[in-house]
Amino acid sequence: MMRIAFIGLGAMGGGMAANQAKAGHEVAAFDLSEAAVARAVEAGCRAAGSAAEAVADADVVITMLPAGPHVRSVYADTIIGKAPKTALLIDCSTIDVESARAVAEQARGAGYRVADAPVSGGIMAADAGTLAFMVGCEDAVFAEVEAALKPMARVVIHAGSAGAGQAAKICNNMLLGISMLGTCEAFALAEKLGLAADRFFEVASQSSGNCWSVSNYCPVPGVGPQTPADRGYEGGFATAMMLKDLKLAQDAAAKAGGTTPLGAQAEALYALFDTQGYGRKDFSAVLQMLRGRLSELS
């Protein structure tokens, strides 16, 4: 059993903390939302009155926060110097690479072992404990990070040194956002050409057009494995979160001198979808915008 401090119990963090408790660990949970803390307690966690209280005797500190400024602030104000120096610090938030490296440098300078470990998989995977983690940390720390993440994970991949987890996450999600748009365009065109969605799925999933967005996360209801499309595009990876990741990718590309025209176009299309009021819908719901059938999302 490990003593785990879990800070950030939102749509993803709540399920992640619950899986740590299910694994038999003692989880001290904290969030600014009292309702989120209450749900964590129902899932077997212990409520902490503050982030500093949560980390006070932790073996592992896991954070799942909205953005880089939140991570920088929480680490500087309530983790570094408050958690035992023996604690392993793991940030699972999706943030900019610069912030991840700055936090890692600050933590290591204070004598901590630290890793950035953003996730892929969405809310369902967070609840099921089947997330994919992309880890940025020193080689000597990875085995310990992998063990700490295991109750929440399907796979844990060492991407490289500090910040590499974040780099891998934003590049992967840029690719996902682009491929989903291509998938949606293809299904929308197939419909216009009189081709049944299930027939096109059978062709695309077994030929050169196949990709994860086709075979595992088809945006058309009733086609292929069950996806958020079969639940009114609820309970998956929110469009607003995809847009956040695409913005991070574009910011990183600008700073690194990278050329990402398809990533930029994907960001623009998801931003358009989001501004029409569908930010909480699964990102695959962009299909309905391309089909001209947004009224079906109401």
In which band, very low, low, confident or very high, does the pLDDT at 298 lie, cut at 50, 70 and 90?
confident
- Number of residues that this document lists for the chain: 298
Instruction: State the pLDDT at residue 23.
Output: 98
For 13-70, the pLDDT digits (tens) are 999 999 999 999 999 999 999 999 999 999 999 999 999 999 999 999 999 999 999 9
Q: Answer yes or no: are the C-beta atoms of 7 and 30 closer than 8 Å.
A: yes
User: Catalytic residue among 82, 150, 169, 281, which?
Assistant: 169
For 80-136, the pLDDT digits (tens) are 999 999 999 999 999 999 999 999 999 999 999 999 999 998 888 999 999 999 999
pTM for this prediction: 0.92
**Active-site residue flag, 85:** no
For 137-149, the pLDDT digits (tens) are 999 999 999 999 9
